[in-house]
Chain A
Amino acid sequence: SAVISQKPSRDICQRGTSLTIQCQVDSQVTMMFWYRQQPGQSLTLIATANQGSEATYESGFVIDKFPISRPNLTFSTLTVSNMSPEDSSIYLCSVGGLAGGFTDTQYFGPGTRLTVL
């Protein structure tokens, strides 16, 4: 598996502000994904980060709220925009297709715990 890091690991933000979360992998991967885990809940896929093109968003998630970048095969960012307390969650990055291989297994980063006041 790959070593996946996320920054920041946690943050406390004010309502109306934005936070950008970074995900870095130590090797090239085919796929990168962003998930949200609301308090006491399971994981929900936000979007697939596509290298060199716009992210693919799941139903209920929009680019204006969660803009995503993926400039290369090892790095992606997720921005949570115009935050409200309802955005308080753990945001997790995952990767699939290590070294261009099988894409159907995902490995997860440590997560970013966001609290919005």
Chain B
Amino acid sequence: AQSVTQPDIHITVSEGASLELRCNYSYGATPYLFWYVQSPGQGLQLLLKYFSGDTLVQGIKGFEAEFKRSQSSFNLRKPSVHWSDAAEYFCAVGARGGGSQGNLIFGKGTKLSVKP
């Protein structure tokens, strides 16, 4: 069955430190991969997505993610975290050509706290 695992429920990093949020997926083929961020009381904002091509994708707000097929992973990284990055981060997978069915499967999310 299709699934997304975000192993870390809550991560705390110091401002200026680097960040890596983990995401592993289980899917029958190469899926579309997404990272969304949800600030408190807000909806979800798309950070970045991977469809094909270069396995290192750049997103907004200085985030990047790397697709590793051999590890079924799509980890999110940022070299230097800002206090405004404190939020909840969701990894999601979607079926290729599956837009007509929605088919976005979300992980349970990782809450990021940033220490001054």
Which A positions have Cβ atoms within 8 angstroms of B? 1, 4, 6, 30-31, 33, 41-45, 48, 56, 58, 92, 94, 96-97, 102-111, 113
Question: A108 touches which one: B36, B102, B108 (CB < 8 A)?
Answer: B36
Structural contact, A45 and B104, CB atoms closer than 8 A: yes
Shortest B45–chain A CB gap in Å is: 7
A42-B107, A104-B32 known; 10 new pairs, CB 8 Å cut-off, are A31-B99, A42-B108, A44-B106, A96-B99, A104-B94, A106-B94, A106-B102, A109-B43, A110-B42, A113-B41
Question: How many inter-chain contacts with C-beta < 8 Å in the A-B complex?
Answer: 64
Within 8 A of A (CB), among B9-67: 32, 34, 36, 41-46, 49, 51
Chain A residues near B98 (CB, 8 Å)? Answer: 104
Chain A residues near B94 (CB, 8 Å)? Answer: 104, 106
Question: B49 touches which one: A56, A105, A113 (CB < 8 A)?
Answer: A105
Structural contact, A97 and B106, CB atoms closer than 8 A: no
Structural contact, B104 and A106, CB atoms closer than 8 A: yes
A102 CA to B41 CA, complexed, in Å = 29
Structural contact, A110 and B43, CB atoms closer than 8 A: yes
Chain A residues near B104 (CB, 8 Å)? Answer: 33, 43, 45, 94, 106
Given known contacts A1-B46, A110-B43, is B99 in contact with A103 (CB within 8 Å)? yes
A110 CA to B51 CA, complexed, in Å = 25
Chain A residues near B71 (CB, 8 Å)? Answer: none
Chain B residues near A56 (CB, 8 Å)? Answer: 101
A94 CA to B99 CA, complexed, in Å = 12
B90 within 8 A of A: yes
Within 8 A of A (CB), among B67-116: 90, 94, 96-104, 106-109
Chain A residues near B103 (CB, 8 Å)? Answer: 45
Structural contact, A30 and B46, CB atoms closer than 8 A: no
Given known contacts A31-B100, A42-B107, A48-B102, is B90 in contact with A107 (CB within 8 Å)? no
